[in-house]
Amino acid sequence: MELYPEIKTPHIPEIEKEIIEFWEREKIFERSINERPDAPAFTFYEGPPSANGLPGIHHVLSRTLKDVFCRYKTLQGYRVARKAGWDTHGLPVELQVEKELGITKKDVGVTISVEEYNRKCREAVMRFKDVWDRLTTRMGYWLDLENPYVTFENDYIESVWHLLKRLFDKGLLYKGYTIQPYSPAAGTGLSSHELNLPGCYKEVKDTSVVAQFKATGFENTYFLAWTTTPWTLPANAALAVGENIDYVFVETYNPYTHLRGTVVLAQALLHKYFPAENAALDFDAFKAGDKKIPFRVLKTVKGAELVGQRYEQLLPYIQPEGDAFRVIAGDFVSTEDGTGIVHIAPTFGSDDFRVAAKNNISAVVVTRKLENPADAYCAKESETLPIVDKEGKFVPEITDFAGRYVKNYTDDPDYVPVDIDIAVKLKQENKAFKVEKYEHNYPHCWRTDKPVLYYPLDSWFVKTSAYRERMAEINKTINWKPESTGTGRFGNWLENVNDWNLSRSRYWGIPLPIWANEAGNKFKCIGSVEELAKEIEYAIQNGVADQPFTPEGLRSGDFDLHRPYIDGVKLYDPECGVMLRQPDLIDVWFDSGAMPFAQHHYPFENQKAFQESFPADFIAEGVDQTRGWFYTLHAIAVLLEDKPAYKNVIANGLVLDKDGRKMSKRLGNAVEPFAVMEEWGADVLRWYMLENVSPWENLRFNIDGLVETYRKFFVTLYNTYGFFALYANIDGFVVDETNVTPVENRPGMDRWIVSRLQSLITHVEREYENYEPTRAARAVQHFVVEELSNWYVRLNRRRFWKGEMNEDKKAAYETLYECLTAVVRLMSPIAPFSSEKIYRCLTGPIRDRAQTSKTLLPADSVHLSKFPRPEARYIDAELDFRMEKAQAACSLGRSIRRKHNIKVRIPLQKAMLVALDETEANAILAEKELIMSELNVKSVEIIPPHFLVKKAKPNFKLLGKKLGPKMKAVQSALENLSSDEVAAFERDGQITLALADGPVTLVGEEIELTTLEVPGLDVAGDGKTTVALDIAVTEALRLEGTARELVNRIQNRRKDLDFDVTDRIRVVLSENEAWNIAVKAHKDFIASEVLAVSLELGTVTEGAEIEIDEAVGKLYVERV
């Protein structure tokens, strides 16, 4: 009867599919949560992916991590609910839709209605949901996919509104006009954490210009100011200098126009533009085209003296209304690069904006009548705009460059950088002093890959800066893995955090629930659908009709809170009359950061569920989320709840290709997760990714390494199970929990592996608790491969296959069974499929009984079982030491055999082991049998210590402090001691060394006696263990060796003929003087080894060729 299914050379993907079916059929995941309503909760938050792109291999890494700790905590008895979620709003979706429709942002509301546009977005966003769900299922990531939270649903939006309203009521939402990163290609401002997304900063080459601004207070004199954005020069309104910086007036020629004049720049930067040797040149000898331009420093002044000087507008396209074109003081001015004079364009830089406002400098702007008042932030007729419009084009007033993009925003292949044309114009007009290419890092929009502009925008902000310290303080209570991400990357960022810009001027997202009066100075924030209904009711009562929603409709659930509907809602205020909605959407990062609240539709429903699940015990995402989701969760939680949002967090690293390069579609080095799982299995992938490097390090994904994991770990594990199954089936072994051999009554080998197992359980539990999955995986793998398989099973094979069932055999089965059932539970969080498979195979025969008697392993699934409890009383340090000693002895003994070329099949007379004391001697003798069989020797003897030659070494740790500089002299003195002197020390326990600078007395443990030799014997040692072998091969030993060779050949033949392990055979062997005597002498031995009923020497006509030490013959084997 097959109690335990046999699994030959496991094809893991097939097994996994069978397990997935089993889980679904038996609802194992649901049961792991629902069957323990009273268990303590362990809360996990799923960071919502966006389903409008395909999942990659890096998603498998972070999702494996998430899964591991949820499964682990489940084994520890916790109730681990985990809700899936979808991030559905935002720019990626909008851009994808625009691309598919072949439109841009400015077409929305023109060629396509907002309604239609948003419907397309809603469709597009879940496009790959199926693929994501398939990945989740296939990789064994347990998550409640049936009831996910979805950020575009009304309930979710309502919860977000509630949070916004709470912020508003606390005075933490405000409207401001600032210079912000803005993406013309995407048509929206970007938050600072969006600029922190990977790959945003790129090395680019721009045209930089040192422009000449003609001073009005000096004769023929120009201020030099440097910029890497020449397109901002038409907006120049001021020049900034450092008050304490020294500036020089330099007479020279312009390199382009060759006109003579005086230029002003920082003294520290003089020689960047004027090589010192040119000071000697003759002014009169200069002619146009000369490479070397003469110069002469006329005077030096402090920056403070320049403040207040005026200059002519550089590019006078537009006249500002107020005062401009002055030299002002700026604290940010340095002499690191440029000229020490900074060009100020108030509309295109945040420093510029600030310093201009402070000095009452007017910006260069144009005024426009508003065509579409709905696009304004409040009802008004006109607005001022910078000289570049929101698409990134110069306004018509900049006549020479009107309509030209300041950067290549449209992927036009013929795009000519406007910067270059501006530079040319400046050169011609004697307004440029130097033009060159300049390479620098510049931020780019994360979706469009286009350079960002700094641009003036009206926006709503969350006043996160007010909570800087509190956020940093609360962050200290969070357990970060790795710690440095929490203290460094995240902690440093919190300490310098700026206000969070919430506004996005797009269409597909959560609308900002704020309404404003016409003057734009009174606001109302709506915090729920019911509140909205009431306000609409109130507005209608006051004559504000024409509403997109009716109060009844809102209360019955028939509505959509998105644009464009919400835009039409008009509220009423008794003092200011009609209020219109602020047209902004909110930053999508707020959506996901709100998920602890909004996933439960808190506070409108599930108040208890929220309370119980906040803050989360654990979250995990990629390190790129540090300033993304990790931050937004933290900010919202601290501002509103004064608590962390999560207690433990793993920030995992990147998945790179095998050469350490980033994976990308362009390089073609991306690894397709489904393909890997189809070929090798999800378990192998999961195990490989976690076992290889700690998750927070970057993983170099190498398929060879993954294959190694399969062969090394998984095949070994399945083989070990297979070995158990093979013999347990033959013997009909079923563990009987009422009659298990007590561990203390089992043989040493069993007690040893049980002892190792207890240490393993303790170790693995500790590592999981510390969120160190890599250490846990490595510990399990080492135990399975080295200790269980290569040592315990290999050495105990005979106990399983020899003879009838007896106490010893039973103990062996029980021991191996215990090890396997424990191992599968330890590894199940990481490798949920194979552990399940083996668990089910092992526990199948006892499950019914176990469930009735509620004893040993009743669970239907390894994931419903309990994490093993370590039994400290079975940990036996002495036994561990004994086995370590024996392993070392066997290893060393084999190296001696190898040195003398004596095969292990030939028995040797004796092995001799050095024992330093009685404990060691006992340890060796206890494993005598093992050493004898492993080394194939007839006896094991102890060499007493007095036979040894010892060497003395200082104990550096002890003596270092005591001796200090004398250390070296003592070391060499000890090395030169004669063996008699060492022996004397051993006897007396002390020794006095005569050193050059006086005698030194050393006692006891200050000297270590180590290296050992045994005079007259061939020994091998590793420093701790020393072994000698008697290498004389006598005739009798040689015959035994030959007999073993024959056993080997006959066994091979049996196998070739596909005989069953238990088949009895008849053997005939051709005569040969190389083995005739051996056969006669060891007939019984050979016959019993190969299960032969007869063994004869004779003539063999049909049979297999065999060869032993160059003697050839024939072998006939048949089944009886």
Partner RNA sequence: GGGCUUGUAGCUCAGGUGGUUAGAGCGCAACACUGAUAAUGUUGAGGUCCAUGGUUCGAGUCCAUGCAGGCCCA
By CB under 7 A, what part of segment 693-732 binds RNA?
693-694, 697-700, 702, 704-705, 708, 711-712, 715-716, 719-720, 722-723, 726
Per CB under 7 A, which of residues 881..910 are in contact with RNA?
891-892, 894-895, 898, 901, 903-905
DSSP string, 270-284: HHHHS-GGGGGS-TT
Q: Which of 589, 696, 791, 1075 is catalytic?
A: 589
DSSP code at position 294: -
Shortest spacing between CB 9 and RNA, in angstroms: 3
Are the beta carbons of 829 and 68 closer than 8 angstroms? yes
Shortest spacing between CB 124 and RNA, in angstroms: 25
Q: Rule CB under 7 A: is residue 823 a binding residue for RNA? A: no
Q: Rule CB under 7 A: is residue 954 a binding residue for RNA? A: yes
Per CB under 7 A, which of residues 1033..1052 are in contact with RNA?
1044, 1047-1048, 1051-1052
Q: Site for RNA (CB under 7 A): which residue of 39, 145, 932, 967?
A: 967
Comparing CA positions, the residue from 798, 808, 809 lying closest to residue 1088 is 798
Q: Rule CB under 7 A: is residue 40 a binding residue for RNA? A: no
Shortest spacing between CB 192 and RNA, in angstroms: 5
> For residues 965 and 998, which CB has a smaller minimum distance to RNA in the complex?
965
Q: Rule CB under 7 A: is residue 865 a binding residue for RNA? A: no
Enter the tokens of residue 380.
């008004």
Tell me whether residue 858 is one of the annotated catalytic residues. Answer: no
Q: Which of 665, 961, 1058, 1060 is catalytic?
A: 665
Per CB under 7 A, which of residues 411..450 are in contact with RNA?
440-441, 443
Q: Rule CB under 7 A: is residue 972 a binding residue for RNA? A: no
Q: Site for RNA (CB under 7 A): which residue of 291, 437, 961, 987?
A: 961
Q: Rule CB under 7 A: is residue 492 a binding residue for RNA? A: yes
Per CB under 7 A, which of residues 1088..1107 are in contact with RNA?
1089-1091
Q: Which of 180, 582, 599, 625 is catalytic?
A: 625
> For residues 360 and 492, which CB has a smaller minimum distance to RNA in the complex?
492
- Print the binding letters for residues 49-68 with RNA: x by CB under 7 A, - otherwise: --------------------
Cα separation, 460 vs 626, in Å, equals 23
Per CB under 7 A, which of residues 376..415 are in contact with RNA?
none
Q: Rule CB under 7 A: is residue 178 a binding residue for RNA? A: no
Q: Rule CB under 7 A: is residue 513 a binding residue for RNA? A: no
Q: Give per-residue burial for 947-961: e unless 16+ CB within 10 Å, then b.
A: ebebbbebeeeebee
Please give the backbone phi and psi of residue 504, each rounded to the nearest 5 degrees, phi first: -135, 130
If one counts every other C-beta atom within 10 angstroms of the C-beta of residue 849, the result is 15
One-letter identity of residue 177: Y
Q: Rule CB under 7 A: is residue 159 a binding residue for RNA? A: no
Comparing CA positions, the residue from 133, 102, 101 lying closest to residue 119 is 101
Q: Site for RNA (CB under 7 A): which residue of 171, 557, 574, 965?
A: 965
Q: Rule CB under 7 A: is residue 837 a binding residue for RNA? A: no
Instruction: Specify whether the backbone of 704 is left (phi greater than 0), alpha (psi in -120 to 50) or beta.
Output: alpha
> For residues 306 and 970, which CB has a smaller minimum distance to RNA in the complex?
970
Q: Site for RNA (CB under 7 A): which residue of 11, 476, 555, 1024?
A: 11
Instruction: Pinpoint the alpha helices (H) of 770-846.
Output: 773-782, 794-801, 807-827, 832-843
Are the beta carbons of 501 and 183 closer than 8 angstroms? no
Q: Site for RNA (CB under 7 A): which residue of 31, 302, 662, 1066?
A: 662
3-state secondary structure 154-208: HHHHHHHHHHHHHHHHCCCEEEEEEEEEEECCCCEECCCCCCCCCCCEEEEEEEE
Cα separation, 628 vs 968, in Å, equals 57
Comparing CA positions, the residue from 860, 946, 934 lying closest to residue 890 is 934
Please report, for residues 142, 208, 1096, the alpha-carbon distance to residue 146 in angstroms, rounded to integers and kept in the order given: 12, 56, 72
Q: Rule CB under 7 A: is residue 790 a binding residue for RNA? A: yes
Tell me whether residue 393 is one of the annotated catalytic residues. Answer: no
Enter the tokens of residue 1046.
């024959």
Q: Site for RNA (CB under 7 A): which residue of 99, 608, 797, 1080?
A: 797
Which part of the chain contacts RNA (CB under 7 A), choosing from 308-316, 506-514, 790-798, 1024-1032? 790-798
> For residues 43 and 208, which CB has a smaller minimum distance to RNA in the complex?
208
> For residues 287 and 437, which CB has a smaller minimum distance to RNA in the complex?
437
Shortest spacing between CB 688 and RNA, in angstroms: 9
Cα separation, 829 vs 768, in Å, equals 10
Per CB under 7 A, which of residues 799..818 are in contact with RNA?
801
Q: Site for RNA (CB under 7 A): which residue of 658, 869, 873, 1024?
A: 658
Tell me whether residue 665 is one of the annotated catalytic residues. Answer: yes
Which part of the chain contacts RNA (CB under 7 A), choosing from 126-134, 691-699, 873-881, 1031-1039? 691-699
In the three-class reduction of DSSP (H, G, I as helix; E, B as strand; rest coil), residue 303 is classed as helix
Q: Rule CB under 7 A: is residue 1008 a binding residue for RNA? A: yes
Which part of the chain contacts RNA (CB under 7 A), choosing from 35-43, 536-544, 641-649, 958-966? 958-966
Shortest spacing between CB 270 and RNA, in angstroms: 21
* CA terminus-to-terminus distance, the chain: 23
| Kind and range of the H or E run holding 1025 | none
Q: Site for RNA (CB under 7 A): which residue of 102, 171, 557, 660?
A: 660
Instruction: Specify whether the backbone of 449 is left (phi greater than 0), alpha (psi in -120 to 50) or beta.
Output: left
Q: Rule CB under 7 A: is residue 692 a binding residue for RNA? A: yes
> For residues 344 and 554, which CB has a smaller minimum distance to RNA in the complex?
344
- Print the binding letters for residues 1012-1031 with RNA: x by CB under 7 A, - otherwise: -----------x--------
Per CB under 7 A, which of residues 1055..1074 are in contact with RNA?
1055, 1061-1062
Shortest spacing between CB 730 and RNA, in angstroms: 10
Cα separation, 991 vs 994, in Å, equals 10
Cα separation, 275 vs 981, in Å, equals 77
Q: Rule CB under 7 A: is residue 773 a binding residue for RNA? A: no
Per CB under 7 A, which of residues 535..594 are in contact with RNA?
none
Q: Per 3-state DSSP, what percentage of the chain is helix, strand, and coil (rounded to 5)?
A: 45, 20, 35
> For residues 537 and 678, which CB has a smaller minimum distance to RNA in the complex?
678
Q: Rule CB under 7 A: is residue 192 a binding residue for RNA? A: yes
> For residues 544 and 726, which CB has a smaller minimum distance to RNA in the complex?
726
Comparing CA positions, the residue from 506, 511, 459 lying closest to residue 161 is 511
Shortest spacing between CB 723 and RNA, in angstroms: 4
Tell me whether residue 607 is one of the annotated catalytic residues. Answer: no
| Kind and range of the H or E run holding 831 | none
Mode of pairing for the β-strands spanning 937-943 and 908-914: parallel
Enter the tokens of residue 645.
């949002």
Are the beta carbons of 227 and 209 closer than 8 angstroms? yes
Cα separation, 606 vs 586, in Å, equals 25
Q: Which of 629, 687, 752, 1075 is catalytic?
A: 629
Per CB under 7 A, which of residues 449..488 are in contact with RNA?
482, 484-485, 488
* Total chain residues near RNA (CB under 7 A): 94
Q: Rule CB under 7 A: is residue 272 a binding residue for RNA? A: no
Tell me whether residue 524 is one of the annotated catalytic residues. Answer: no
Tell me whether residue 629 is one of the annotated catalytic residues. Answer: yes
| Kind and range of the H or E run holding 340 | none
The beta strands (E) that lie in 62-142 are given as 83-86
Shortest spacing between CB 462 and RNA, in angstroms: 16
Tell me whether residue 48 is one of the annotated catalytic residues. Answer: yes
Are the beta carbons of 498 and 192 closer than 8 angstroms? yes
For residue 615, is the peptide bond before it cis, meaning its omega torsion is within 30 degrees of 0? yes
What is the set of active-site residues?
Answer: 48, 87, 589, 625, 629, 662, 665
